[in-house]
Amino acid sequence: MIVAVIPAKGDSTRLPDKNLLEINGLSLIEHAVRFARTSERVDGIFVSTDSESIATLAKELGVGTIMRGAELGGEAPLIDVYRHALEAIGGGEITHMVGIQPDNPDRETDLARAIAYAMEKNIDYLFSVDRDGSRNGSLTILSLNALTSEPSLYASSIMDQCTNIHSRRDFLMASRNLSASAGAIMVDDRKIGMDQPVFV
């Protein structure tokens, strides 16, 4: 059984309410949920959050909600968030967990292929990196072994040149990337495209 967990805290000091900001009419959380649904191998989707507003949105989207305490907010290591999620879901039949951070909405990875690669190669810890090799948080795939033990694990990476949103500038860059892929472009906060209203 493979589950996707979207870690979405409510507080963001540099960009308030970041995970609820919208691009192309969808919040960053909705983009993450849509990405999780691109693979039929994902058996369940959960949003892990400390925010009632985000929990409400998750329920509206038809995905599971895992509430976490303040000790798993802020700069808590994501592995602790994922382990908390495993315990909350009930580890029984889970073999892999897919971590999808909402602040990488213009990700380019094919989720189904990434899952297949991790499983075929018996990779315990697969993570996405930029072209320069820096981890970007777009995607993490963890085996049950990685979730329940400390490393000496088989780890590997895949490239995904996406935007990691921390600031307003990052948000506008991701907006432009997603709009361009949808046949539109962004100018400041306005979208220009064939199906958009005309403005001068």
180 versus 96: the higher-pLDDT residue is 96
- Confidence at residue 137, expressed as pLDDT on a 0 to 100 scale: 83
- Confidence at residue 116, expressed as pLDDT on a 0 to 100 scale: 96
- Confidence at residue 34, expressed as pLDDT on a 0 to 100 scale: 96
Q: What is the pLDDT of residues 60-81, one digit of tens each?
A: 999 999 999 888 877 788 999 9
Residue 191 pLDDT > 70:
no
Mean pLDDT value across residues 1-7: 96
- Confidence at residue 172, expressed as pLDDT on a 0 to 100 scale: 93
Q: pLDDT grade, residue 181 (50/70/90)?
A: low
Q: What is the mean pLDDT of the chain?
A: 87
- Confidence at residue 194, expressed as pLDDT on a 0 to 100 scale: 43
User: Number of H helices and number of E strands within the chain?
Assistant: 6, 11
All residues at 6 or more sequence positions from 4 whose CB lies less than 8 Å from its CB, including other chains = 36, 42, 44, 45, 46, 97, 98, 99, 100
Residue 158 pLDDT > 70:
yes
| Three-state SS at 66 | strand
| Three-state SS at 13 | coil
Please report, rounded to a whole number, the percentage of residues in the chain having pLDDT higher than 70. Answer: 88
Q: What is the pLDDT of residues 25-59, one digit of tens each?
A: 999 999 999 999 999 999 999 999 999 999 999 99
All residues at 6 or more sequence positions from 156 whose CB lies less than 8 Å from its CB, including other chains = 118, 121, 123, 125, 126
- In whole angstroms, what is the distance from residue 106 CA to residue 93 CA? 31
- Confidence at residue 71, expressed as pLDDT on a 0 to 100 scale: 85
- In whole angstroms, what is the distance from residue 27 CA to residue 188 CA? 18
Q: What is the pLDDT of residues 119-138, one digit of tens each?
A: 999 999 999 999 888 988 89
Residue 113 pLDDT > 60:
yes
| Packing angle, helices 28-36 and 52-60, rounded to 10 | 40
- Confidence at residue 147, expressed as pLDDT on a 0 to 100 scale: 92
